[in-house]
Structure 1
Amino acid sequence: MLGIADFQGEWSIKRQIVDHLAGQDGTLVGQAVLTQTDPDQLDYAEAGTLTLATGAQMTAVRRYLWTFGRDCVAVCFDDGRPFHSFVPDGHAAGTDHPCGADFYQVRYDFTRWPAWSAVWTVTGPRKDYVMTTHYARISPDAPI
């Protein structure tokens, strides 16, 4: 099982969003930085450029707190509210996250470590999309 030291550092991210409800497909290219804040916690900070199928671009940012427990990683929103948890090993389904009437499900793939991915499937009356994010370690001397 991967641990806190394995994730700490800078990662390039490439995300594909396929929106079945609104038809607003898009891609995001950016970076995620995971910084240790406590012995068992990482701050996950992500920033990138989201490009919609129409060509419109915008800056996208998000932040989470990852807490490494004995058997899993608990992910919280940056204000401390629980989001989901996952086991950082192999093919891993994270716990589901209901958000109002919408429902979030995630599957992680760590089988090609240090490259890894997360696939979110979001369904409900207001949302119907699949978001796939690929992560690759940025070496210390790689251009950003």
Structure 2
Amino acid sequence: MFSPVPDVLAYLAGRWTVIRTLEDLSTGATGEFRGTADIQPSGDGTCALFVEDGELTWGGTTNQAGRTLHLLPRPDGTADVTFADGRPFHDLDLRSGRWAVHHPCGRDRYEGTFTVVSPDEWQVRWRTAGPAKDHVQQSVYRRAPSLPPGH
């Protein structure tokens, strides 16, 4: 069962914990990203900034990792998602609680599925196939607990 979201930016606003598993299907290698995602209005109010920060463990090595995306609101409660440099990534419509997208990247193709599990959890699955990549990423986002004032 999916939880419908009438306004994607209102739902996503705030701080989330992120656990992402990664698997390279061609080699069997696996990895994990653990961190946070902060989704806040941009300084100029034109979009929301989606900033992930954490640690990626891959091949026995752990490094800092992160990314920034822009969520540009549409009047119907959906959004366009762009990379930090403004290049288009995909659209995002969670009004039914589930959304499928695709993104060409060179000759590879990313197929994504977004699922709203509850008011405090959503998940994303990316399957990437092509000559350069053959992998699956599965992410679970859980709303981070609020800190008491002064912390």
Unaligned runs of 5+ in 2: 1-5
Alignment partner, residue 32 of structure 2: 27
Aligned equivalent of 1:122: 128
The answer for the alignment partner of 1:92 in structure 2 is 99
Structure 2 distance, partners of 1:3, 1:15, is 21
Gaps of 5+ in 1: none
Return the letter of the residue paired with 2:139.
T
Q: Determine what percentage of the aligned residue pairs are the same residue.
A: 31
Q: 1:131 matched to which residue of 2?
A: 137
Matching residue within 34, 42, 47 for 2:48: 42
Q: 1-side partners of 2:10 and 2:105: how far apart?
A: 31
Q: Is the 8 A contact 2:112 2:125 kept in 1?
A: yes
- 1:61 is matched with 66
The offset of 1:128, in angstroms, is: 0.6
**Runs of 4 or more above 3 Å deviation:** none
The whole-number CA distance in structure 2 between the counterparts of 1:126 and 1:109 is 27
TM, length-normalised to structure 2: 0.85
Aligned residue for 2:145, secondary structure, equals: coil
TM-score for both structures, normalised by structure 1? 0.89
- Aligned residue in 1 for 2:3: none
Distance 1:22 1:80 in 2: 33
Distance 1:117 1:40 in 2: 25
Q: Against the structure 1 CA distance between its residues 39 and 88, is the aligned structure 2 distance closer, same or farther, given a 3 Å change threshold?
A: farther
* Superposition RMSD in Å: 1.6
1:4 touches 1:40 (CA, 8 Å); kept in 2?
no
**Aligned partners of 1:73 and 1:88 also within 8 Å:** no
Q: Aligned residue pairs: how many?
A: 140
